[in-house]
């Protein structure tokens, strides 16, 4: 009985959502602000990738909030896991030769690719979050393949703190020089070159370091304490 | 276009499989597949930024965290 009611309820909700969305045309501009970003974004921010210009420039404060949420989640995980810490000497089984060699071969390439993604965030698709997640997945590979290796906790905490600090300091510098928090006070340069778009690449590099070390720290915490 | 429909069909199958598998590791792999196909679909919808984040976080890191949690608890449901 309960199952039938649940399924009926789900069908009603799905029908309602699909009927209301069926009237909305797909893929056509519906708001003025989106068109404004597409038309004026490159000239105003200097970033060719419009997604980046929205994420870091127009909505930079929201990005700071997102980074803070991730930071709080990582801290919360560390606190929860440190209360149940119980060191049992688990015997580490070595990985197979194929996994070990593949991981040693791929890890530097993954690091380079992740760095490329966040350094070129204002030119090509991607940015700090994506690059950081790719770097963290590289560290996950290290935990799978080279099982006796561990990341340096002090270095990762330092990278995390410096990334967050850089973001806030640049925002405050924008307040000093540009008049509002996170204003783009550096010269924009020529669009489509690496050194352009003012503060956007700097902030994305900071976010890349922060997200990468945070996610790698989460994985390290989980593997160490479990 | 047919390829996209095929992917959506696969994604539905993977999502249903993830909810009915009793072996939790298999369920995690199935949900991983949902994320991966979602990433490909995002790419076809011209959102490569979202596709990258979905592939890295949804398919790799989330699965790793789930598998670590399963290792600490029980592998089979009920």
Whose structure tokens read 């789930």? B66
Q: The tokens of A143 are what?
A: 């935990």
Q: The tokens of A164 are what?
A: 């967050």
CB A183 within 8 A of CB A154: no
CA atoms within 13 A on the CB side of A142: 20
pLDDT at B15: 92
Q: Using one digit for the tens of pLDDT, what is the confidence trace for A55-113?
A: 888 888 898 898 899 889 988 888 888 777 666 666 677 778 888 898 889 999 999 99
pLDDT at A85: 62
**What are the extents of the domains in chain A?**
2-225
For the cut 80, the answer to whether the pLDDT of residue A191 exceeds it is no
* Vertex A26 angle, CA A126 and B42, to 5°: 30
Choose the mutation target among B20, B41, B52, B63 for the interface with A, i.e. most A CBs under 10 Å.
B52
| Greater model confidence, A12 or A51 | A12
**What's this model's pTM, rounded to 2 decimal places?**
0.82
Q: Using one digit for the tens of pLDDT, what is the confidence trace for B50-68?
A: 898 888 888 888 998 898 8
Q: Which chain A residues are closer than 8 Å to B52 by Cβ?
A: 117, 125-126, 130, 133-134
pLDDT means over runs of 10, chain B (78 residues):
90 91 91 92 89 88 88 81
Buried b (16+ CB within 10 A) or exposed e, A153-162: eeebeebbee
Residues of A at the B interface (Cβ-Cβ below 8 Å)? 49, 51, 117, 125-127, 129-130, 133-134, 136-137, 140, 215, 218-219, 222-223, 226
Closest of B8, B6, B69, B78 to residue B38, by C-alpha: B8
What chain B residue is nearest to A77 in terms of C-alpha separation? B65
Alpha helices in A53-96 (DSSP H): 60-83
CB contact under 8 A, A126 and B71: no
DSSP state letter for A27: S
- Does the ipTM surpass 0.90? no
């Amino acid at each position: 009985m309960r199952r039938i009611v649940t399924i009926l309820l789900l069908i009603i909700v799905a029908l309602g959502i699909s009927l209301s969305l069926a009237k909305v045309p797909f893929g056509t501009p519906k708001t003025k602000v989106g068109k404004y970003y597409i038309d004026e974004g490159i000239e105003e921010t200097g970033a060719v990738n419009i997604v980046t210009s929205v994420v870091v420039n127009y909505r930079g404060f929201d990005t700071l909030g997102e980074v803070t949420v991730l930071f709080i989640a990582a801290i919360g995980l560390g606190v929860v896991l440190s209360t149940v810490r119980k060191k049992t000497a688990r015997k580490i089984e070595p990985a197979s030769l194929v996994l070990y060699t593949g991981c040693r071969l791929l890890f530097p390439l993954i690091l380079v690719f992740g760095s490329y993604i966040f350094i070129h965030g204002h030119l090509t698709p991607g940015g700090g979050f994506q690059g950081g997640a790719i770097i963290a997945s590289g560290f996950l590979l290290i935990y799978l393949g080279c099982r006796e290796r561990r990341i340096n906790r002090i270095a990762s905490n330092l990278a995390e703190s410096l990334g967050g600090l850089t973001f806030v300091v640049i925002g405050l510098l924008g307040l000093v020089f540009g008049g509002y928090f996170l204003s783009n006070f550096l010269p924009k340069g020529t669009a489509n070159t690496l050194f352009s778009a003012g503060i956007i690449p700097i902030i994305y590099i900071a976010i890349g370091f922060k997200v990468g070390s945070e996610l790698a720290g989460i994985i390290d915490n989980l593997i160490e304490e479990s | 276009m047919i390829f996209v429909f095929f992917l959506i069909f696969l994604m539905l199958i993977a999502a249903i499989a993830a909810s009915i598998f009793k072996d939790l590791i298999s369920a995690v792999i199935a949900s991983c597949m949902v994320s991966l196909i979602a990433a490909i679909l995002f790419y076809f919808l011209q959102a490569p930024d979202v596709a990258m984040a979905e592939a890295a976080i949804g398919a790799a890191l989330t699965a790793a965290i789930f598998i670590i949690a399963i290792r600490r608890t029980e592998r089979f449901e009920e």
